[in-house]
Amino acid sequence: MSIEHRDDTGARFGMWLFLYTEVILFSGLFVLFAMTQARFPEHFAAASAGLNTTIGTLNTFVLLTSSLTLSLSVTALQLNKIRQSLLFCSGTVLLAVIFLVNKYFEWSTEISHGIYPGSDHLAESAPGTAAFFNLYFFTTGLHGLHIFIGIVLILTVTGMIIRGKVSAECPVLLVNSTLYWHLVDLIWIFVFPLFYLIPRGFHG
């Protein structure tokens, strides 16, 4: 009677299709970034120099490491090492929280300097500077939202591993969450150089 039949490949394929939509979502912001960078290279250079590259680099490593731990947890689950798998999942969540905390400090410093979308300070700055920070806040904000959703997702799957609903025989939910998490990492791999590194090269 049941028409529920398992198609893990289909499930992964569907997940990939969903990830495409995420890429397009961010690429809208990348289009804006590329065009504005081309119009105001010098303003962008100056504005980018105001970002905290140390925190940015640190966060890049944090996110790369979280990707590693989540991948390890998939292998652990496939090898039926449930405890290790759970450990790696928790590690990932911890790293994700560290990322958000870093981001919080970064943002609050900027906000305390009067730099935030719609602020008077930005309204008085050069047009390219205002555009840079507006894009910066929206892009990192949207990315941060994705990190947050990722945390919720991984915690849910962790719970399902504990209850045995996700297991070596039926790992597809963990695999799909991993795909999602890697994509969030992948987007950061581009967000980081776009905002923190590349604009600086265009000084004069």
Partner 1 sequence: MAEEHKPVSYRSYFVIWLALSALSGLNVWIAGLAGGSLTAWIILAVASLQAGLVLSVFMHLNQETKMFRLGILALLIIVAVSIGLTFVDVLYR
Partner 2 sequence: MTETTLNYSGFYTEGPRKGILGWLLTTDHKRIGILYLGCIVVMFLIAMVLGLAIRLELIAPGKTIMGPQAYNATFTVHGIIMIFLFIIPSIVAAFGNFLLPIHIGARDVSFPKLNLLSWYCYVAGGLLAIASIFTGGGAPDTGWTFYVPFSTQTTTNVNLAVLGAFILGFSSILTGINFVTTIHRLRAKGMTWGRLPMFVWTLYATAWIQILATPMLGITLVLVFLERIFGAGLFDAARGGDPILYQHLFWIYSHPAVYIMILPGMGVVSEIIPTFARKPLFGYWAMAISSLAIAFAGSLVWAHHMYASGMSDLAVLVFSFLTFIVAIPSAIKVFNWISTLYKGSIELAPPMLFALAFIFQFAIGGLGGLALGAAASDVHLHDTSFVVGHFHYTMFGGAGFAFFAALHFWLPKFTGRMYRHKPAVIAWGLMFVGFNVLYMSMQAVGIQGMPRRYYDYLPEFQALNLVATVGSWILAAGILLMFYNLWQGIRRGRPVGNNPWGGATLEWQIPSPPPLENFGAEDPVVTKGPYDYKGVVADEY
Contact track, partner 2, 4-33, x by CB under 8 A: ---x-xxx-xx--xx-xxx-xxxxxx-xx-
The candidate with the shortest Cα–Cα distance to 153, out of 22, 4, 58, 44, is 22
Q: Is 146 in the site for partner 2 (CB under 8 A)?
A: no
Q: Is 114 in the site for partner 2 (CB under 8 A)?
A: no
Angle of helix 127-162 relative to helix 172-192, nearest 10 degrees, comes to 160
Q: What angle do CA 134, 22, 172 make, to 5 degrees?
A: 145
Q: Is 51 in the site for partner 2 (CB under 8 A)?
A: no
Beta carbon of residue 93, minimum distance to partner 1 (angstroms, whole number)? 17
- CA gap 187, 189 in Å, rounded: 5
Beta carbon of residue 124, minimum distance to partner 1 (angstroms, whole number)? 25
User: Residue 84 contacts by C-beta under 8 Å, 6 or more apart in sequence?
Assistant: 72, 73, 76
Q: What angle do CA 58, 60, 140 make, to 5 degrees?
A: 105
Q: Which is nearer to partner 1, 159 or 193 (CB)?
A: 193
Beta carbon of residue 81, minimum distance to partner 2 (angstroms, whole number)? 30
Q: Is 60 in the site for partner 1 (CB under 8 A)?
A: yes
Using CB under 8 A as the criterion, which residues of the chain lie in contact with partner 2 when the complex forms?
3, 7, 9-11, 13-14, 17-18, 20-22, 24-29, 31-32, 35-36, 39-40, 43, 117-118, 122-123, 126-132, 134-135, 138
